[in-house]
Amino acid sequence: MEIQEITGFFKEELFVADLKGKTRDEVLDELTEKFISGNFIKNHELVLDMLHRRESVGSTGIGHGIAIPHGRTTAAPELTIAFGKSSAGVEWEALDGEPVHLVFLVIAPPYEENNHYLPTLGKLVEFLSKAENRDRLKAIDNFQDFISLFSQ
Amino acid sequence: MKNELEILVALQDLDLMLKELDEVRQLGFDVRSEGEEALAKAREELVGQISKPLLGNYERLRAKYKRAIVPVKGDTCLGCFMKLPTYLLTHMQRDQRVINCEGCGRILYWLK
Ligand SMILES: [Zn+2]
């Protein structure tokens, strides 16, 4: 799988240039709400419970100001990714203790024909391990620039 | 208070998570062993809220199909792609009850 293939899972309605949430729980709630208002998922509580459960196993803050909360849920019709930026930074109990500025929320159904879920998580981790990609993401403020960053 | 269908769905979501923890860890994510224990405990709690026959139904379906609960899209079961009768769809939407597909037996979940 190539990083370009991921662009199909991003949605303009799920792009948040300036997160309001100040805590991990608030940000998870805020991004999950985007899935509801964008009509991608109907059950807010179910998804949020799943995300909290995932965080209880270990933080999804992978370091360098990045968090990739993720999970499969029966409530999701297809693999979809929300993106949010926080200029202030959010405490996420990340591996390196740093506050989180870039959040990718990856929601997948229980089963997908192409099985893109785990490869997508892997590609995101790989892409975000590069400092230049993180810096570019921090500089963008609209969905078109965001998508083109992943299309190069 | 969640209804039985919602608890079942939460259980399936948790089971999906448990199944892929090792793979997620290999991708570089933080997955702690004490976290796994907490998940197992959370599973016990959910299981305790589900009646024995329904839990048996879920476990049998899970062993047979991997996914015990499948979404309904339009009027079609996405497990076996059988068209569901209208009265079933009405029941599902109105009552949020546990209903098994007449074709494959899987538990149906209304996505929209
Ligand atoms: Zn069926």
Does B17 contact A50 at a Cβ distance shorter than 8 Å?
A: yes
Burial class (CB in 10 A: 0-12, 13-18, 19+), B1: exposed
Tell me what pLDDT residue B42 has.
Answer: 95
CATH number, domain containing residue B25:
1.10.287.1490
Inform me whether the pLDDT recorded for B27 exceeds 80. yes
A76 within 8 A of A108, measured Cβ to Cβ: yes
Does A56 contact B39 at a Cβ distance shorter than 8 Å?
A: yes
Cβ neighbours around A30 below 10 Å, total:
18
Tell me what pLDDT residue B92 has.
Answer: 74
Q: Looking at residues B48-63, what average pLDDT do you find? A: 96
Inform me whether the pLDDT recorded for A152 exceeds 80. no
A97 part of contact set with chain B, CB < 8 Å: no
A13 within 8 A of A38, measured Cβ to Cβ: yes
Q: Place B14 in a pLDDT band, splitting at 50, 70 and 90.
A: very high
Q: Round the average pLDDT of chain B to a whole number and report it.
A: 92
Q: Place B64 in a pLDDT band, splitting at 50, 70 and 90.
A: very high
CA A44 to each of CA A21, A36, A39, A41: distance values in angstroms, whole numbers, following the listed order = 16, 7, 11, 7
Tell me what pLDDT residue B110 has.
Answer: 86
Does A118 contact B109 at a Cβ distance shorter than 8 Å?
A: no
With a CB-CB cutoff of 8 Å, which residues 23-52 of chain B face chain A? 23-24, 27-32, 35-36, 38-39, 42
State which residue of chain B sits closest to A39, comparing Cα positions. Answer: B112
Question: Could you tell me the residue range of the domain that residue B82 belongs to?
Answer: 4-110
Tell me what pLDDT residue B90 has.
Answer: 81
A7 within 8 A of A147, measured Cβ to Cβ: yes
The CATH number of domain A22-151 is 3.50.50.60? no
Backbone angles phi, psi at A135, to 5 degrees: -65, -40
Task: Read off the pLDDT of residues A50-67 as tens digits, 9 standing for 90 and up.
Answer: 999 999 999 999 999 999
Inform me whether the pLDDT recorded for A108 exceeds 70. yes
Does B38 contact A111 at a Cβ distance shorter than 8 Å?
A: no
pTM: 0.95
Q: Round the average pLDDT of chain A to a whole number and report it.
A: 95
Tell me what pLDDT residue B1 has.
Answer: 61
Q: Looking at residues B10-19, what average pLDDT do you find? A: 96
Q: Place B112 in a pLDDT band, splitting at 50, 70 and 90.
A: low
Does B29 contact A68 at a Cβ distance shorter than 8 Å?
A: yes
Q: pLDDT: is B2 or A90 the higher one?
A: A90
Tell me what pLDDT residue B54 has.
Answer: 95
Q: Place B96 in a pLDDT band, splitting at 50, 70 and 90.
A: confident
Q: Looking at residues B8-29, what average pLDDT do you find? A: 95
If DSSP codes are grouped into helix, strand and coil, which group holds residue B98?
coil
Count structural domains, chain B.
1
A71 part of contact set with chain B, CB < 8 Å: yes
C-alpha of residue A38 to centroid of ligand 1, in Å: 28
B74 part of contact set with chain A, CB < 8 Å: no
Tell me what pLDDT residue A80 has.
Answer: 97
Q: How far is A75 from chain B (nearest CA, A)?
A: 6
B56-65 — which CB contacts under 8 Å span 24+ positions?
B57/B100, B57/B107, B58/B8, B58/B11, B58/B12, B58/B107, B61/B105, B61/B106, B61/B107, B62/B12, B62/B15, B65/B104, B65/B106
